Chains A and B, each alone.
Chain A
Amino acid sequence: MRTIWLVIKHEIYTTLRKRSFWVMTFIMPAILLAFNTYAVIQDSDIGGSEESEAESGPASLPAIGLVDDAGLLKEMPESFPQDLFTPFADEAAAMSALEAGDLEQIVHVPADYLATGEILVYDQEFKLMSSGDDMGIAFGSSSDWVLPYLINYNLSGDESLTVKLRNPTPGSIAEHHVVRPTADAIEGDERVMAEIIARAMPYIYYFILIISSGYMLTSVTAEKENRTVEVLLLSLNPRQLMLGKIIGLTVVVLVQMSVWFAGGALTVGQSSSLLNISAFDFPPGFFIWATLFMLGGYLLYASVMAAVGAIANTAREGNQITWILILPLMPTLMFADKFLTEPNGTLSMVLSMFPFSAPSAMVTRLAVADVPLWQLGVSLGGLALTAYLMIMLASRFFRPHHLLSKSKFNWRRFAAALRG
């Protein structure tokens, strides 16, 4: 027991002393925050806050030419900038200005607009992701196009009526109850955050699991490369060595995870405040479940890495083959949308119950929908059991003839070690 404790302390001490560990620990949330800040700033440049736009209109305005053949946009509400559009008598004149680069967009309201409801829009460049009301000037972070609002205003001549037409059922909150959707899609502002989380979570978990379990691979192969393993084997048995490494590195990973989770929470908070949407409500106990699944996933993949490290000659050689063993994490990345649209659908459920994909799949699912408690329990239990079996299996690789071997990795050796 004392020997294992010494290995645990040694792993913690040596890993926490590495500059690369702290760089990795802080760089990931920093990148996430920077990326998020950039995305949010970009987003707010288009609109601005929804509350302020009612008073002052959109903040940053592109140069938009207006050809109003229907004669519907004669006045602008007081809260809107009066020079929102540059009027043109006809489309040809506006087109010349667009071609000259004086305009970014032309909005043409044809004479028969009231009959057809059709508006023509010309842009300087093709916008891959834009369609319908995503184009032109929108209200703040929402994708509501301002043009119908302005037409309604001109048709009604009353801004308060226009506001009601845009939002017919306003209300102040008397009581706030959180009832999370089950299989139904989440609506409104929360959906924006749900989309961010559903897309980001599998990647975050993928990288966390790769990086954290990678410590195990590095630790094992380092002792093979610097030839300390032969001396160590005369002080402890291979299983003690493996156990000490796993426990020691678990502590290291917990330190790293707490920094990453704090960074993640900060990112979500930042997104909520900058986008001016209500803070995303994680289900009760989300972070506890997320930590448990992360730990289970770490133990599972760390034992896989330990096995690879024991028979690979160098960390580089080990890294070349681990990508095959982490393939089970990929479907969650590939089908991230399914977790948003059908969080309790068959695919989401299967991936969140399969131990090798459960760590990222279940947490992604949990972030966007209510998951029955029994499914959480079964999934976590399955993950814990599989992690335990994988540790037992990895100990078959942790034998002197593998640890001291100089032979290159090959799958035949891997299979032979697996058979024990």
Chain B
Amino acid sequence: MHTVEVSHLAKRFGDIEAVVDVSFAIEPGEIFGMLGPNGAGKTTTIRMMMDIFKPDAGSISVLGGPLDLPKKRRIGYLPEERGLYKDQKLGATLTYLAMLKGLDQKTAEGRLGQWLERFDLTDYRQKKVEELSKGMQQKAQIIATLLHEPDLIVIDEPFSGLDPVNTRLVKRIFEEQRDAGRSIIMSTHQMYQVEALCNRIVLINEGRSVLYGRVEEIKRNFAGNAVELKGQGDFTEIPGVLETRQLNGSWHLALEIGADPQDVFRALANRDGVKIDRFELAEPSLDDIFISVVQDGNHGSEAGHV
């Protein structure tokens, strides 16, 4: 049984079509990446999943059916726009939010103690939230998301404001949650985090799910859409290339969907002042795929669907 199943969702706000057609499903015990450029419709999709907004069309099944209040309490949600009571004490705020999720005060306070210790925030329990640094507030927000031990965790940009040490800690915690059989939906722009954590992804662009499936399969499907080369000369503005960036002395070119690497090679070879030492097909990163699909518009839905 899927933890979440979303089928042909659509939502309009006045004249704006926020979501046109989004479909995906999430398995138990997986970390699922939800990707897309700003304004693609990710947050609206999440809000419809969370029953905050009602969809105009399509169907949603969460934890085995329509979302009701008892099921909502089995969800941990870290929204895009963080929210804690700034003028209240950290401990009291997190306990209140956990109790709203159904925990009794004693359990909530007991679990909170453990989480604060893990996140090195024990000394800040009696401090006001506004006295905490941005990174500490982010950790507190993650605690609020996990304190009631939810079955489904929805996290939007979970690594925002975290230093590398805490990023690693949070990643480890999410992996533990996944290993405990919980489903995690992660929305982020940090592609390397998605590559490192997510089993499967959906890419939403202009309100549509344009890419959906296992990360390795998607990358395999997009093989040939990236080229790595070494040499001297001008490697910018090459026909069929979407983005050129330099990495450790090499050049990494993200190609348009359907662009032939041989044509790119020929175009470079014909350029004056260009000397090529090495030219090879590269496995595209999710970053390349994201750029290819988003910049190429809806072509990705045909090429990338698994």
| Interface check B266, CB cutoff 8 A | no
Q: How far is the CA of A231 from the CA of B86 in the complex (A)?
A: 14
> Within the complex, what minimum Cβ distance (angstroms) separates B147 from chain A?
12
- Contact: B72 with A226, CB < 8 Å? no
CB neighbours of B144 from chain A (8 A): 231
| Interface check B63, CB cutoff 8 A | no
| Interface check B273, CB cutoff 8 A | no
- Contact: A400 with B69, CB < 8 Å? no
- Contact: A230 with B53, CB < 8 Å? no
- Contact: A10 with B96, CB < 8 Å? yes
> Within the complex, what minimum Cβ distance (angstroms) separates A291 from chain B?
30
User: What is the chain B residue whose CB lies nearest that of A403?
Assistant: B52
CB neighbours of B139 from chain A (8 A): none
User: What is the chain A residue whose CB lies nearest that of B129?
Assistant: A226
User: What is the chain A residue whose CB lies nearest that of B144?
Assistant: A231
CB neighbours of A13 from chain B (8 A): 92
Q: How far is the CA of A92 from the CA of B81 in the complex (A)?
A: 83
Contact with A along B39-60 (1 / 0, CB 8 A): 0000000010010110000000
Q: How far is the CA of A235 from the CA of B50 in the complex (A)?
A: 10
> Within the complex, what minimum Cβ distance (angstroms) separates A410 from chain B?
14
Q: Which chain A residues (341-362) contact chain B, with CB distance < 8 Å? A: none
Q: Which chain A residues (227-243) contact chain B, with CB distance < 8 Å? A: 227-237
> Within the complex, what minimum Cβ distance (angstroms) separates A199 from chain B?
38
Given the contacts A6-B99, A230-B52, A404-B52, A235 and B73 also touching, CB distance less than 8 Å: yes
| Interface check B82, CB cutoff 8 A | yes
User: What is the chain A residue whose CB lies nearest that of B148?
Assistant: A235
- Contact: A227 with B83, CB < 8 Å? yes
| Interface check B88, CB cutoff 8 A | yes
Given the contacts A14-B85, A14-B88, A226-B85, A400 and B72 also touching, CB distance less than 8 Å: no
- Contact: B100 with A236, CB < 8 Å? yes
CB neighbours of B13 from chain A (8 A): 401
- Contact: B83 with A226, CB < 8 Å? yes
Q: Which chain A residues (194-237) contact chain B, with CB distance < 8 Å? A: 222-223, 226-237
What's the interface size class on B, roughly?
20 to 34
| Interface check A3, CB cutoff 8 A | yes
- Contact: B84 with A226, CB < 8 Å? yes
Q: How far is the CA of A235 from the CA of B73 in the complex (A)?
A: 6
CB neighbours of B240 from chain A (8 A): none
Q: Which chain B residues (72-92) contact chain A, with CB distance < 8 Å? A: 72-73, 75, 77, 79, 81-88, 92
CB neighbours of A235 from chain B (8 A): 72-73, 97, 100-101
- Contact: B69 with A227, CB < 8 Å? no
- Contact: A231 with B88, CB < 8 Å? no
> Within the complex, what minimum Cβ distance (angstroms) separates A202 from chain B?
33
User: What is the chain B residue whose CB lies nearest that of A406?
Assistant: B81
Q: How far is the CA of A10 from the CA of B81 in the complex (A)?
A: 22
From B82, B83, B97, residue with most partner A Cβ within 10 Å? B83
Q: How far is the CA of A412 from the CA of B52 in the complex (A)?
A: 23
Q: Number of A residues whose C-beta is below 8 Å from B?
A: 23
> Within the complex, what minimum Cβ distance (angstroms) separates B70 from chain A?
11
Given the contacts A231-B144, A234-B75, A235-B73, A226 and B86 also touching, CB distance less than 8 Å: yes
User: What is the chain A residue whose CB lies nearest that of B92?
Assistant: A13
Q: Which chain B residues (115-158) contact chain A, with CB distance < 8 Å? A: 144
CB neighbours of B72 from chain A (8 A): 234-235
Given the contacts A14-B88, A234-B75, A227 and B81 also touching, CB distance less than 8 Å: yes
CB neighbours of B69 from chain A (8 A): 236-237
> Within the complex, what minimum Cβ distance (angstroms) separates A218 from chain B?
11
Q: Which chain A residues (8-42) contact chain B, with CB distance < 8 Å? A: 10, 13-14, 18
User: What is the chain B residue whose CB lies nearest that of A237?
Assistant: B69
- Contact: A401 with B84, CB < 8 Å? no
User: What is the chain B residue whose CB lies nearest that of A232?
Assistant: B100
Given the contacts A234-B75, A234-B77, A6 and B100 also touching, CB distance less than 8 Å: yes
Q: How far is the CA of A232 from the CA of B83 in the complex (A)?
A: 9
- Contact: B82 with A227, CB < 8 Å? yes
- Contact: B101 with A400, CB < 8 Å? no
Q: How far is the CA of A233 from the CA of B53 in the complex (A)?
A: 11
Q: Which chain B residues (87-112) contact chain A, with CB distance < 8 Å? A: 87-88, 92, 96-97, 99-101
> Within the complex, what minimum Cβ distance (angstroms) separates A415 from chain B?
15
CB neighbours of A404 from chain B (8 A): 47, 52
User: What is the chain B residue whose CB lies nearest that of A241?
Assistant: B100
Query: Of the candidates A3, A222, A227, A401, which one forms a contact with B100 in the assembled complex, judged by CB atoms under 8 Å apart?
Result: A3
> Within the complex, what minimum Cβ distance (angstroms) separates B77 from chain A?
5
CB neighbours of A236 from chain B (8 A): 69, 100
Q: Which chain A residues (38-97) contact chain B, with CB distance < 8 Å? A: none
CB neighbours of A232 from chain B (8 A): 100
- Contact: A230 with B79, CB < 8 Å? yes
- Contact: B81 with A230, CB < 8 Å? yes
Given the contacts A10-B96, A400-B52, A401-B53, A227 and B79 also touching, CB distance less than 8 Å: yes
Q: Give 27 A-B contacts (CB < 8 Å), ordered by A residue.
A: A3-B100, A6-B96, A13-B92, A14-B85, A18-B87, A223-B83, A226-B83, A226-B85, A226-B86, A227-B81, A228-B83, A228-B84, A228-B85, A229-B83, A230-B79, A231-B77, A231-B79, A233-B50, A233-B52, A234-B75, A234-B77, A235-B101, A400-B52, A400-B53, A401-B13, A404-B47, A404-B52
Known: A230-B77, A235-B101. 11 other contacts (CB 8 A): A3-B100, A14-B85, A226-B84, A226-B86, A228-B85, A231-B83, A235-B72, A235-B97, A236-B100, A400-B52, A401-B13
Instruction: State the B residues within 8 Å of A (CB).
Output: 13, 47, 50, 52-53, 69, 72-73, 75, 77, 79, 81-88, 92, 96-97, 99-101, 144
Pairs A-B, 8 closest by C-beta atoms = A227-B83, A228-B83, A235-B100, A227-B81, A230-B79, A400-B52, A234-B77, A234-B72
